[in-house]
Structure formats: structure tokens, C-alpha cells
Structure 1
Amino acid sequence: MMMHKTGTRQQWLDARLNLLAAEKDLTHRSDAVALQRQQLPWVPVDKDYRFDTATGPATLQELFKGRSQLLVYHFMFGPDYTAGCASCSAIADGFNGITVHLENHDVAFTAVSRAPIEKLLAFRKRMGWTFDWASSFTSDFNSDFSVWFSEEQQRDGGVEYNYRREPPLPAGAAEGMRGSPVGHMANMSGTDPVTYIRDRPGVSAFVIEDGQIYHTYSGYSRSVDGLWGMYQWLDRAPKGRNEQGIWWRHHDKYDAA
């Protein structure tokens, strides 16, 4: 039985104009937040980070590919995963085609994960993606930018993610998480929940000026929500996100669900 209110076209138009005012306000506030984001101080990056890429070893500067700016998506794909995080994969489905536009606007883009490059490239081929993907397997990059944490940090309360410190993970937590959304996500990545959450998602931005690389921004958790393309569409659908638990899959796994 339909429970949503109905109305005349004029009632709809009146309500739509009220919504339009709210949407315009949100757009203006979003513009102001973007400006505030761009006004953050730049922090010099002095560590010599090294990555493995499809074309061989690369430095952080080489990931810029001659551009002055670099955007990095911190993709959850740890060395012990058998597949990339399904949430990160859904986000990647949305940004896969934009790289050419960014690169023609002086912005390089790459995903970075801790899994060895061979795993990343095999999964990229499976998903049909073309964006650059670098492995930080032998680097401190993920740890330094707060998207990977050790077993000791989990146990001792040393995980600081999204600018907040998390409490210690209690003994036996993995078993308790198996039936949870986190456990479900871990299962889709082929690992256990505790191992799964040592890697985290995020986005970081860098700029190079006069040969010096600077870190300009990092966002985590819901800060990447705006990059999750399917949600921007669902927010405009009649029933919105309409979620009851984890419903998404790797895009080649829906028929098997």
C-alpha cells in the first residue's frame, strides 16, 4: 500500500520551490566549505615514499605525471585481501572515467593500496577499470596518512582515524563482528573483520611547487561520501538511499548474490 502523500501539480511546485531554496543554500555552503578546504596550510612532504605501479617503481613526485596537483584515493585493499573492499570498489566505479578530465585540468589521480601491485592490477582487470593504481606495500605511506594501522595499534588503542582516537579492540572482537556489516564487508574481501579494518578509506591531496611536494588535504569516513557516485543519484531517487544493511556488491557479483 502506498503511504507517501500525494498532491496536485501546484502543491508539488510549491514544495519544490521550498526545496530549491534549501538546495541553493546547500550549494552555497558547499562552495564555502570547498574554499575553506583550499585555504588549509600546506605541509611539506619530506619523506621519500616509493610505490610500485603498472609501469614500474615510482616516487611520489612521479605519481604527479608532470601535473602540479595530485589526488589520491586510499583504496582498502590490504595484502591479505583476496579482493578490493566492495565499498571502495563501488566508489571506484564512479571515478573510473574521470581521470582523463582531471589530467587535462592539471590534476593527476591515482588510487593507492597496500596490496602488492600484481593483486591490484589483476583486480583492476577483473573490474574493467583503467585508472592508475599504485602499491604502497613497501612504504609507510598508508600509515603516515592514517589509513593503515597495525595489530598492536588495534590492541592498545593506538588507532587514530578521521581525527579521532578509537578505543582498544577487545580480545575476541573478530568473532563478534562476523555477523555484522563489517564482517559482511570483510567476507566480500576474503579476509577476517579485524584484518579488514586495519586498512581504511580516504582521499588525500598534494601539490608540487618549486620542486617541493606539499600535503594539502586528507578526508576520511563520511568525508568521502560525496565521491561515492551512486549515493548522489540515490539521494535524488524517490525512496532515497532506502538502506537496510549492506546491499551493494562488487559490480560483477550481483547475479550471484
Structure 2
Amino acid sequence: MELPRITSREEWLVARKALLESEKRLSQERDRVAAERRELPMVELDKEYVFEGPAGRCTLLDLFEGRRQLIVYHFMLPPGADHVCPGCTFLSDNIGHLAHLHDRDTSFTAVSRAPLAEITAVKERMGWTFPWHSSHGSDFNYDFHVSLDPAVAPVEYNYRSAEELEEAGLGWILEGTDWHGLSVFLRDGGRVFHTYSTYARGTDLLNGTFNYLDLTPLGRQERGFSSPSRFREPDTRG
């Protein structure tokens, strides 16, 4: 990668002030989009989803833990997976202290289609402490379009049908069974509403490491998550 050119402090300051104007416009646009996101209409859920967690079976309403809002990260872990998604691993390492969400009446959990025992094994190996529930046997992943099986539900990912994905040159997505995403829910008494879902690069803003690296000259230095030892599976050869 080519390094930035070397200049005087005076010339650097002129360039930095010009960039600051672009950053301000970006902040204003981000605030505008965030306001537009908050104004999205919401859909009431009338299907009961059953999950399994450390405390046993529970419903979507239970995942709120009494709070008004719930954020669900759809972690790519189908039943019997022989590897753990490095992208989901990277993002999960960046989940902050949940007390700050709880202080704002918001709960968080990851949800995967794998059985709880498989989730627990990954969670313990990685040292994660955030809640992570299994939707095994439920339609939850299919209804929120992170598990793809036309025999269960019409295939859709990132708001594109199977045909649209093929037309966009994204047919490789259809070769997988499970993908990542994030969904947000709001509770009003005992009623639960779906307010937002995002997929693919829509989850970038959740990754604090990316945001730090975006401030640096070398950027994200993306390597397909193939190098860091943290993403490798444990050696079980004995």
C-alpha cells in the first residue's frame, strides 16, 4: 500500500481542515439517517418464537428481560457447523459492556440456529459473556431472513429475493444456509414489534475495531480473517 505523501505542518493543517468539513457533512448525514431509521414504521409480531438459553426455554418477550428494547445479533452458526464464522467472531469480540445498553432500557442477545450445547461450547472457548440463545427448531431465523431454505420460507437476503441476488451477481449467497444480520425489537407491555433489520455491511458500524482502523493511514488491512490465531478452530488432534 502506498503511504501518504510527506508535507509541511502548514500544508497538513490546510488538508486536515478540508477533511474536517467532509467529516462534519458525514456526521450530519449520519444523524439524518439515524433519525429516519427511528421513524420507520413497525410491525407487530403475532407468532410465538421459542428459544433456549442457560435458564431454559423462553420466548422473544423473555429476551427483553423487562426492558423496552431488544437488539438481536444473528450469529452465523447452523446446527453441526464444522467451523465458526470469523466475521461474526470478529464482531462479537467488539461487543461492549452491556450495562451501557441496559442503562438505556435496551437488552442484547445473539441468536443462532445451532442447538444450545453447540453455542455454549463456542461461547466458552471464546470467553464471551454476552447472552446467546438458540433458535433451534424455530422459524425465527427463516422469518428474519438469515437462514435460507426455500422449503421453509421464501429465500431473501438483504432485502433481495433469490432472483434479484442472482441478477446482481450475488448468487453465491444462495449456496450458504445461514448468514449474519441484526434485528431490533420494541416492547409495549406484552406486545412485541419488529422495528429494524440490517444485513451484510449494515453491521459494520457495530465493529469498533473497524472504526478505529478507519482513522489510520493503513485502514482496515482486511485479510479475509484468515490469519489471526483467534479465528482458528481448536486443535483436537491430542
Normalising by structure 1, we get a TM-score of 0.81
Equivalent of 2:181 in 189, 192, 202 = 202
State the partner residue of 1:54: 54
Q: Is this contact kept in 2: 1:77–1:85, CA < 8 A? A: yes
Where do residues 61-72 of structure 1 align in structure 2 (5 Å cutoff)?
Answer: 61-72=61-72
Cα shift at 1:243: 3.4
Deviation per residue, 1:152-181 (Å, 9 max, x gap): 589xxx5311011234999xxxxxx8xxxx
The residue aligned with 2:103 is 104
Q: 1:250 to 1:101 in 2, by over 3 A?
A: farther
Aligned 8 A contact 1:143 1:149 in 2: yes
> Which residue does 1:7 correspond to in 2?
7
Distance 1:3 1:36 in 2: 38
CA deviation string 1:100-149 (max 9, x = no partner):
21112100000000000111111111101000000000110000001101
Alpha-carbon RMSD across the aligned residues, in angstroms, is: 2.7
Deviation, 1:242, is 3.3
Among 243, 246, 250, the residue aligned to 2:222: 243
Does the 8 A contact of 2:42 with 2:195 survive in 1? Answer: yes
In 2: Cα distance, 1:35 partner to 1:207 partner? 16
Query: Aligned equivalents of 1:151 and 1:42: distance in 2?
Result: 26
**Change in CA separation of 1:44 and 1:91 when aligned onto 2, cut-off 3 Å:** same
The equivalent of 1:221 in structure 2 is: 200
1:121 aligned partner, one-letter code: T
- Displacement of 1:224 in angstroms is 0.7
Residue number in structure 2 paired with 1:166: 162
In structure 2, the partner of 1:230 is: 209
Contact map agreement 1:90 1:250 (CA 8 A) in 2: no
Q: Distance in 2 between matches of 1:214 and 1:68?
A: 11
Partner of 1:129: 128
The amino acid across from 2:212 in the alignment is W
Separation in structure 2 between the aligned mates of residue 149 and residue 116 of structure 1, nearest angstrom: 17
The aligned amino acid for 1:91 is: L
How many angstroms apart in 2 are the aligned matches of 1:215 and 1:153?
20
**Using the alignment, how far apart are the partners of 2:205 and 2:97 within structure 1?**
15
Contact (CA 8 Å) 2:225, 2:231: kept in 1 or not?
no
Q: Contact 1:112 / 1:136 at 8 angstroms: preserved in 2?
A: yes
SS at match of 2:97: helix
User: Which segment drifts farther, 65-74 or 230-239?
Assistant: 230-239
Q: SS in structure 2 opposite 1:91?
A: helix
CA distance in structure 1 between the partners assigned to 2:224 and 2:85 by the alignment: 16
Give the residue type in structure 2 aligned to 1:8: S
Show CA shifts across 1:173-216 (max 9, x none).
xxxx8xxxx9xxxxxxxxxx94xx21011110001113210000
Shift of 1:94: 0.3
Q: CA deviation at 1:228?
A: 1.9
Structure 1 residue 60, shift from structure 2 partner: 0.5
Q: Select between 41-50 and 75-84 the one with higher mean Cα deviation.
A: 75-84
C-alpha distance 234-248 of structure 1, shift in aligned 2 (>3 A)? farther
Aligned residues: 230
TM-score normalised by structure 2 residue count: 0.88
Could you say what secondary structure the match of 2:70 adopts? strand
- Tell me what 1:78 maps to: 78
Q: Which amino acid aligns with 2:123?
A: R
Distance in 2, matches of 1:66 and 1:126, equals: 29
1:137 and 1:3 map into 2 onto residues whose CA distance is: 49
How far has the Cα of 1:82 moved from its partner?
3.0
